[in-house]
Chain A
């Protein structure tokens, strides 16, 4: 399984430069937003966590358009390993190439703008990891649903956006709650539940859809 995961990671990070794309997009979007909002610290503290979450969601949409396209789908369908396991590896590779670098870097970057906020930063860090897993797994389902349709990237965003909103709300909510010294554990638990559910169910749903689509085309 490690060889398969490594292959997916190579394809995503090196061949398509997904990690660079996602990191650059996140950094640029955050910078532009901070300049646009201004340097008033109270305002920044109020809006930046939510903004960071929204941009995380958008950057995790990158690379979904061709997540399942290409010649290797046949190889996956005929593999010795169960298709849901291979798709789980694919979603995990997408998470590692897009959201994980952001999860590691974003709290550090934001701590420059919002100092003295350890708990919210930890919330953001943990939330980005859980949210990234949820977004990549939901994105995999979206990629499966729109497989084979033309201009599928736009359609895909439409399909998966509503499914991603709960994770976004709980994730951003946890950070805001921590900033106000309120209980952040409940929204974080919900986010964790969403991440677990989508991580487990997403690959099965995607495998079912893809097998049906490929064999009946």
Chain B
């Protein structure tokens, strides 16, 4: 053989990771590896630790155990964008500057071009969510950590989100998505965060 056809570099590995919040262990002894194209869904009821685990994976919350991550992650919190006077263009320019890249909307799959100069406080929840998700298209980070990304989206928006994630995985990225709609990503591995009684 002598030829590697698909080099499965692990972008994100967890070995015996525990995440506690407020003295309660939410994620217990998690061992998992995500290679290129890997998608992991976090499911479970409210308060089961999906967000805490994502924050730990992003480096925003302490954990015990070992974690390896190839580069910085792109973390999108579940909180909707605050309805400020800022326009989506200004918001995305700022976010791109934080990631150290110039703002260009290479592909406007979320169709936000026509609202790019409308202040965020004039946009509906769904449109603000589209603007927030458009951050994914500005950056170039390999690991995406998305908390409830389909919140507030209409059917077309959800389909776009599915396509964007699929493209990212196809391009060699990896993603962890906390969601209550695991059927949106039928091919993914699922981790149930429910604490066993």
Interface, chain A (partner B; CB < 8 A): 1, 3-4, 6-7, 10-11, 14-15, 70-71, 74-81, 86, 214-217
Contacts and interface: CB of A to CB of B under 8 A. Distances in A.
Q: Chain A: interface secondary structure?
A: helix
Contact of A80 (B75, B90, B98): B98
Task: Pick the most buried of A11, A78, A86, A215: most chain B CB atoms within 10 A of its CB.
Answer: A78
Contacts of B97: 1, 3-4, 7
B100 interface: yes
B99 to A, nearest CB: 5
Interface size range on B against A: 20 to 34
A72 B103 CA distance: 18
Interface in B60-89: 60-62, 72-75, 77, 79, 81-82, 84-86
Contacts of B81: 71
Contacts, number: 67
Contacts of A75: 95, 98
Interface of B: 21, 58-62, 72-75, 77, 79, 81-82, 84-86, 90-91, 93-100, 103
Sort A-B residue pairs by CB-CB distance and give the 6 closest, nearest first.
A80-B100, A3-B97, A7-B94, A79-B98, A215-B62, A15-B84
Given A3-B94, A10-B90, A74-B77, A80 B62 contact: no
A15 B86 contact: yes
A214 B60 contact: yes
A6 B85 CA distance: 13
B79 A77 contact: no
A10 B85 contact: yes
A74 B60 contact: yes
A70 B77 CA distance: 12
Given A7-B90, A78-B73, A215-B60, A70 B82 contact: yes
Contacts of A78: 58-60, 72-75, 98
Contacts of B62: 215-216
Contacts of B77: 71, 74
Task: Pick the most buried of B77, B96, B97, B99: most chain A CB atoms within 10 A of its CB.
Answer: B97
B82 A81 contact: no
Nearest to B56: A215
Contacts of A77: 59-60
